[in-house]
Amino acid sequence: MIILTGGAGFIGTNVLIGLNDIGKSDILIVDNINKTQKWQHLVGRSFYDYIHKNNFWKWMEACPRLEIEAIIHLGACSDTTEDDFDYFMENNVHYSQKIWEFCAERNIPLIYASSAATYGDGTRGFSDDHFQVSKLRPINAYGFSKQLFDLWVLKQKKTPPRWYGLKFFNVYGPYEDHKGRMASVVFHAFPQARDHGHIRLFKSHKPEYEDGEQKRDFIYVKDVVDVILFLLNGNATSGIYNVGTGQRRSFNDLAKAVFQAMELEVNIEYFNMPERLLSRYQYFTEAEIAKLRRAGYSNKFTELEDGVYEYIHFLSV
């Protein structure tokens, strides 16, 4: 059995699809669906059962002889504007620590989600070298919670047999509809272009960046799944890895790709960033992926225009 936390979420749903595609269906989904519509992501998928995250440990205690192939831990609070730090600690740190200890005790491989938000404003670089983790300075509570868990992991003497902490960069693609304001710019841009003929982007509040020229490492969710399956089924060295394309692209590039996919004229409008985001906003990200390449991952990442085209046609159906 594979345990997949956050399995009804954005990346989790795509991982579930990827596992099904390679013939795996003995999968326990752990999530917090509650009154959301995330249940729709599970329709038509093959999995063993769904367990609410608060009931997971009681369920595991009732199944002490269960053979677990791996745990893919993607469940977390990922809202970069959330201010309840205690909530982050409980969900992103303490819950993850318990999963780590469980995997270490039971000798179970673990893949967990870290985040590029740990890199803060980027002035300290984007290296996934373990010696750099303590030098990073996240600029929001979400990124700090992810860094705290990474730091805790690197201090542990008792570890799972194989473990991978994945720093996801700007992921976009199908099944992020439940994320609201935290969904990708592509998701929000599609209805704007369709219904109003324009796409709205944040103005730049730094003189070194023109409006819309803030740059991110945008990675298509199918590439993220491919990396996860590579690590799940291989023997790469345990550690923290960046999961990005290694290429920075501007939000203007992304918007133009949306217009191109929709066969519309480019029409971009810029508006002021909300004050609450001014000190938390990353103007630039670009993953260093040499470590992932050295681990043996050689597949080519999807070009932004190709990924946006495929995703826009998914949203159009």
Tell me, rounded to whole angstroms, the distance of Cα 138 from its chain centroid: 16
Q: Is 264 exposed, middle or buried (0-12, 13-18, 19+ CB in 10 A)?
A: middle
> CA angle at residue 295 from 239 to 139, to 5 degrees?
45
DSSP string, 42-62: GTT---SEEEEGGGHHHHHHT
Contact between 125 and 287 (Cβ < 8 Å): no
CA distances from 275 to 81, 131, 133, 164, 281 (A): 11, 34, 29, 36, 10
CA–CA separation, 142 and 115 (whole Å) = 9
Out of 142, 175, 281, 297, pick the active-site residue.
Answer: 142
Out of 179, 203, 283, 309, pick the active-site residue.
Answer: 179
Contact between 190 and 196 (Cβ < 8 Å): no
User: For 297, phi and psi rounded to 5 degrees?
Assistant: -80, 115
**How large is the angle between the packed helices 251-262 and 304-316, nearest 10 degrees?**
50
Residues 6+ apart with CB under 8 A from 46: 20, 25, 27
Residue 209 bears catalytic tag: no
> Cβ–Cβ contacts within 10 Å for residue 208, how many?
8
CA–CA separation, 131 and 128 (whole Å) = 8
Residue 142 bears catalytic tag: yes
Residues marked active site are found at 142, 179
